[in-house]
A and B are shown apart, each in its own frame.
Chain A
Amino acid sequence: MKPLIMPFALILAATTAQACETVTLGDLTIEHAWSKATIGADRPAVFYVEISNRGATDDALVGISTPAAGMPMLHETVVKDGVASMPHSMTIPVPAGQAVQLAPGGYHGMLMGLSAALKAGDRFPMTLTFEKAGKVTVNVDVLPLRAEGPDCLDAGQ
């Protein structure tokens, strides 16, 4: 399987050198904010991001808001006993000294009520609200529908 990974990684790097901005808020570092192109505006979009907490105090992501969607919510995909469900997640813990990922198959933002379809290459602002650190706004890059995530190695991040 190893030999297959390299060419694929190179293709990703060549096509999606985005979503590599890093924003800090106190002890929190927020990076790799990305979304996927949507099929029309009637289906929800997704929001993924990486948050790391270098501090000594636990924090939590308690909300997201964006002009791109009327009803953005935090969810978690849970696969239990062979069944996937998507319970609404009120808060996503960001423990001291740890990193949390909103990533395919786990925590994610579900963006309902899109004002317009998202197209690859689009960029929209997303405000994250943390229990303790407060609010911060990041730019979210829209990657192609089939993207598995941003690749930022070539961007020096």
Chain B
Amino acid sequence: MRLRPLQITLWIAAILATAVFAWSRWPAANQVSSEASMAFEPSFALADGEGNLRTSAEFRGKFLLVFFGFTNCPDVCPTTLSDVAQVMDDLGADAGKVQPLFISVDPERDRELGLNDFTAAFHPAIIGLAGTDAETRAAAQSFKIFFEREADPTAPDGYTMSHSPGLFLVGPDGAWLRQFSYGTAAAEILSDLQSRF
């Protein structure tokens, strides 16, 4: 079959467009992958339920399982903390190698409602942290996560919190290791941890 000049022109245009598109995407794709593989050390300095300041430095030597949430949250937070509790139970003798942390993104209200009775209801090993607004923002930034207060007249006190629902794993050297996305099964988190001991 012979191609007419118009067809040939169209084919050349299509090939050129594809090439230009691929070329324009290339640096962006490279940038994303190098960012993702770049090691970083999340850090925080936040008060626990007793009001004592706890810092990321004091947990060196242990794996940290970190969840950002708020105690008024009825669905996502209890589901994730239940998974964390299951992981801690299933770790058995290795439980001492892992410190689960719950960092409040709604610190003022959570301190009023009680941080310790909330975390203890899931598992005694979980430490709840609720700092000042500035400390909380700094902690979230160091984990590269997002949270925001949203006005909602149908929620308690007229607002709710949107937040990154992942569970974050930090290594014994303080370096960020990975995220478990919301809904990751406890068994999967457990086997990932066990592969690192």
Contacts and interface: CB of A to CB of B under 8 A. Distances in A.
B166 interface: yes
Contacts of B118: 39, 43
A32 interface: no
B190 to A, nearest CB: 9
A44 B72 contact: yes
Contacts, number: 90
Contact of A44 (B86, B146, B156, B163): B156
A83 B163 contact: yes
Contact of B75 (A71, A77, A83): A77
A36 B74 CA distance: 9
Interface in A44-89: 44-46, 71, 73, 75, 77, 79, 82-86, 88
Dominant SS at the B interface? mixed
A108 B117 contact: no
A82 B78 contact: no
A46 B74 CA distance: 6
Interface residues of B, number: 36
Contacts of A5: 187
A121 interface: no
A147 B83 CA distance: 10
B121 interface: yes
Contacts of A4: 187
A108 B156 CA distance: 16
Given A4-B187, A39-B118, A145-B121, A82 B166 contact: yes
Interface residues of A, number: 33
B162 A85 contact: yes
Contact of A40 (B82, B114, B122): B114
Contacts of A45: 74
Given A82-B166, A88-B152, A77 B76 contact: yes
B107 to A, nearest CB: 15
**Residue among B73, B85, B118 with max Cβ neighbours from chain A (10 Å):** B73
A148 interface: yes
Contacts of A111: 74
Nearest to A2: B187
Contacts of A88: 152, 154-155
A43 B72 contact: yes
Contacts of B117: 39-40
Interface of B: 71-76, 78-79, 82, 85-86, 113-114, 117-118, 121-122, 146, 148, 150, 152, 154-156, 160, 162-166, 182-183, 185, 187-188, 191
10 contacts: A1-B188, A40-B114, A46-B75, A77-B76, A83-B162, A86-B160, A105-B182, A105-B183, A145-B78, A145-B82
Given A1-B187, A75-B74, 19 more contacts: A1-B188, A39-B114, A43-B113, A44-B72, A46-B78, A71-B154, A77-B75, A77-B76, A82-B166, A83-B146, A84-B76, A84-B163, A84-B164, A84-B165, A85-B160, A104-B79, A105-B182, A110-B74, A146-B82
